[in-house]
Structure 1
């Protein structure tokens, strides 16, 4: 017996969403034998983008039943049945979360039509529900409403069952109790974690850190580890006794702390903690006519890179960006093989360095401005970012071009007094990865506040 269902939610933070609508069709493999469709009052506001997507608004739900009023009906209709949904992991997690709030441990086996479709329809261009059913000629109405999507999923499931001639795929994909379902202990661990950015630490029975990482949503990331069925994930799940965390308030602090603590703790399931985070660099040289040339190359530790990148394409894209920003020359920077002037000269975007028309000194001054802007800052600065709570700021300290560490401040005099500032900063290693992290972050973020420090 199967129950094909779809759930609409309020949106919002991971594991804090509320159900706004649910549709369940009980299917015995031949026909629908029962159904339950209802709006749900989530007792919280719906995110505006969800209102625009589904058409369900707060006013519509004021008189709808609350989840605890329909919970018994959901338990009964899904009893002894396999839950079928498109991206079943999402719908099942939402249901389990709602039941857990009521103090009930809701457990069912699940089957995901996304996974089934990838195996039985390997040539599909997309596995999103809307595009997939349209490509199969399955009619769908009320898209992004629970019953419309549930009915489309039901028709898709019927088609997939007919394609599974020897039934082996269904047997293999059908999840057992430990696949895709969290144990009560794992649920307790996830429940205690925040849906915030920071670092998580996975501990073994003896307290050893066996894995750590940065995440924009700690709760969501650990939940994903617990439901992953890969061999490495299985080992982590088996050894995990506890998960601790540290929120950072912003991405830069999270990435810097992850880089520093991986090196210090060397967790056994973070095998790549020693790896270089970049592969290519931007290098400066003087061409035969005296113009400064900036070229993208594979990283060479013996040379001084102006900036570092994850790929050659990333480095070259940056060259194109600074070409437009500083009116640099494609030919001088090796992006054009033109025998005479580069193509941008005719558009007045290049001032003629390619044909030795622009004075060398004037061109090189702009290149030096560019290098200064995008290199590791050489002066004493504090990069100010969001803190962990309202009224708090995070500061990343750089002195004489060297990363010193980071700290959190709530009072201006803590920042303005260098001695107090340095006493609050948590020291961290300055290495090629931290320089890459900081310069990459500064390149990509346009609204960062940087405070120049006075000794």
Structure 2
């Protein structure tokens, strides 16, 4: 069953301008239309019919009704509480967009290659979640990013910052774990992991205890380190890891401390050798600028926009243009996916 629809709220805005509110209760009160049994089917329906008759009798009603009944009319598509001007101001460029309620609170954040087209897609979508979102939307905002990569990264950061009511993905903050090193009173170098807030200067970052253990297991296997001193086994006199058996005896006093520490240093150096600082170059918001994303020691560090004439040779050239950002599991996945698809967009610093 499909019929053309008319919205009395949008019709009232057009034919009866100047009222403070266009909700059924306040508008009928202002117009002297009786409304009994509020929020009951019969009462609301009766008041709506009386309002509809009044709209039919207003000046230019015939022209306005024909416009609204046009299948391609935006008036028939936009949410009732959203002024048309809010939609018309949206650009057709890549960026992040925001749905806001009557109090100006952000209730949804999204990203798009074409902001206006994507927002219109929400209005056409008849899923229950979209209908509820659109019904609560009173205003729109946006920020152009010039490219989809920065839009994806900014969307992720904004969702975690504003925690919008109608965003379901990316809200959960995933606990990070840092790999670190220290020296005990016997002069032996240890490798271990802990929650990132307990690890001020991690040598590597993982996103679960399992990932952190696997990271240390790989180092143990590669550099013949002791699982006891890599904290893969706790409260044991000597190591006896069921998978890793390459320990050369530091835990049994069969190996000199200096020789063991040398291998730990080699393991640490291997991490530093892999860590890279690089820049992903992207389109800017205008032809006069370039967008960029900074990866510092394999971690997403932020994004920015620099004038096209600026020559980028080292990090100092970018510092004044960078908007620092947190490295999260989501942003790491976004960057890694982009690098796989666009390897030529990267240059090392």
TM-score (norm 2): 0.49
Larger Rg: 2
